[in-house]
């Protein structure tokens, strides 16, 4: 079986003899069509987020078609187009018992803690392989998981129709956050030091914030997570407003308790999504959102040019993804 494997930091290659997945009774086997790339994948690729072993199959955003089902699986069938929810919660720890599966203490994540999705076929727990109600293009499958991240942050913030919101950072997650806010009926503004990323956000309906625009925003969504972005987020949020932090960095940022209290700010981190409702709602919305999602996509990159896709994901505007659909066609 073919797979894209990380052999050392910043080096991937296609291998033709990767082991076939061994599905359990409650698993399905998915012939992958597409896998998207995000900051977590770049950290794995760089070696700054160590993997359990090398060589390693990265990738966690994507989907394909079911080609086999385990003996105990009765609600999935061969031929279904599915998207993978790549955070397998344990359902038994304290956060899971409270419905906060995003904080699961024993969560398994393809491409990070268990082998990932950049392979011809992968075994996935059936309950985390979501059938897509209407057929969508391969690239759309690569957007569903990060779209669920964005939609969950908007849900947690409680943004209502007509509310003006600022998205700080217009990388792929920032663009999906803009799209999620537009879907919620919000007025969406965006800022990013890179003009080409701002243009990409404007194409889907966001509005750029001018450098001299000092208006405050009731909700600010920080999708970058780095100190420079935080300075913008903290400056732009209104008194009594909320900063939702989606992007992550190990670097500390500055906010005194005096400023926090006097400005009566709410600062909330938003990590992935909570199973099953957040992902189910996103999958249900995908068909309607597909045209706008397509507007975010860069051209799919073939497997043997995977390094180009990783490079594009660092700098190019839009969503970078690897097109595995030819592999799936070979298998069928």
What does the DSSP assignment read for 309-323?
Answer: HHHHHHHSSSB-EEE
Distance between CA atoms of 306 and 6, rounded to whole angstroms? 10
d(CA 31, CA 34): 10
Angstrom distance (rounded) from CA 134 to CA 142 = 15
Q: How many Cα neighbours within 13 Å face the side chain of 196? A: 6
Which of 138, 167, 132, 186 has the alpha carbon at shortest distance from 294?
138
Look at residue 15 in the predicted model and tell me its pLDDT: 97
* Residue 126 DSSP code: G
Q: Is 178 helix (H, G, I), strand (E, B) or coil?
A: helix
Dig out the tokens for 288 from the structure. 């309607």
241, 264 Cβ separation under 8 angstroms? no
Residues contacting 328, CB < 8 A, separation 6+: 31, 32, 33, 64, 65, 120
Rounded to 5, what percent of the chain is helix, strand, coil?
A: 35, 25, 40
Q: How far apart are CA 29 and CA 80, in angstroms?
A: 11
Query: What is the spatial distance between Cα 142 and Cα 294, in angstroms, rounded to a whole number?
Result: 10
Distance CA 139, CA 19 (A): 26
Question: How many Å apart are CA 139 and CA 44, to the nearest integer?
Answer: 22
Distance CA 283, CA 289 (A): 10
Handedness of CA 149, 150, 151, 155 (dihedral sign): positive
Strands (E), 157-216: 164-168, 187-191, 207-208
- Predicted confidence at residue 185, as pLDDT, reads 97
Which domains occur in the chain, in start order? 3-142+297-331 (3.90.180.10), 147-269 (3.40.50.720)
Residue matched to tokens 């999620």: 180
Cα 140–Cα 141–Cα 146 angle in degrees, nearest 5 = 90
State the pLDDT at residue 330.
Answer: 44
Cβ count within 10 A of residue 100: 15
Distances in Å between the Cα of 195 and the Cα atoms of 166, 190, 210, 314 are: 16, 11, 12, 15
First vs last C-alpha separation in the chain: 13
Q: How far apart are CA 12 and CA 287, in angstroms?
A: 33
User: In tens digits, what is the pLDDT along the chain, a chain of 332 residues?
Assistant: 999 999 999 999 999 999 999 899 999 999 999 999 999 999 999 999 999 999 999 999 999 999 999 999 999 999 999 999 999 999 999 999 999 999 999 999 999 999 999 999 999 999 999 999 999 999 999 999 999 999 999 999 999 999 999 999 999 999 999 999 999 999 999 999 999 999 999 999 999 998 789 999 999 999 998 999 999 999 999 999 999 999 998 899 989 999 999 999 999 999 999 999 999 999 999 999 999 999 999 999 999 999 999 999 999 999 999 999 988 654 43
Residue recorded with tokens 């759309």: 140
């Amino acid at each position: 079986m073919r797979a894209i494997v990380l052999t050392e930091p910043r080096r991937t290659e296609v291998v033709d003899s990767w082991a076939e997945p061994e599905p359990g009774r409650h698993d399905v086997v998915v012939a992958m069509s597409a896998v998207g790339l995000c900051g977590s994948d770049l950290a794995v690729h760089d070696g700054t987020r160590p993997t359990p072993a090398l060589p390693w199959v990265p990738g966690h955003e994507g989907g394909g078609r079911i080609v086999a089902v385990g003996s105990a699986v009765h609600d999935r069938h061969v031929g279904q187009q599915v998207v993978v929810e790549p955070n397998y919660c344990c359902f038994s720890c304290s956060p899971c018992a409270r419905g906060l599966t995003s904080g699961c203490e024993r969560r398994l994540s393809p491409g990070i803690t268990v082998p990932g999705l950049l392979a011809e076929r992968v075994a996935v727990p059936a309950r985390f392989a979501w059938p897509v109600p209407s057929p969508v293009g391969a690239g759309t499958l690569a957007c569903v998981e990060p779209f669920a991240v964005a939609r969950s942050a908007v849900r947690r913030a409680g943004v209502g129709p007509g509310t003006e919101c600022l998205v700080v950072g217009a990388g792929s997650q920032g663009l999906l956050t803009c799209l999620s806010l537009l879907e919620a009926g919000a007025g969406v503004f965006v800022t990013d030091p890179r003009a080409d990323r701002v243009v990409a956000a404007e194409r889907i309906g966001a509005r750029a914030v001018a450098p001299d625009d000092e208006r405050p925003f009731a909700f600010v969504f920080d999708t970058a997570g780095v100190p420079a972005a935080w300075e913008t987020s903290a400056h732009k949020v209104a008194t009594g407003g909320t900063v939702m932090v989606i992007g992550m960095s190990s670097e500390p940022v500055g906010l005194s308790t005096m400023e926090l209290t006097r400005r009566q700010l709410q600062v909330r981190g938003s990590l992935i999504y909570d199973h099953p409702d957040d992902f189910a709602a996103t999958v249900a919305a995908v068909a309607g959102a597909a045209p706008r999602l397509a507007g975010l996509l860069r051209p799919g990159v073939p497997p043997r040019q995977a390094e180009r896709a990783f490079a594009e994901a660092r700098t190019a505007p839009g969503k970078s993804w690897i097109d595995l659909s030819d592999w799936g066609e070979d298998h069928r």
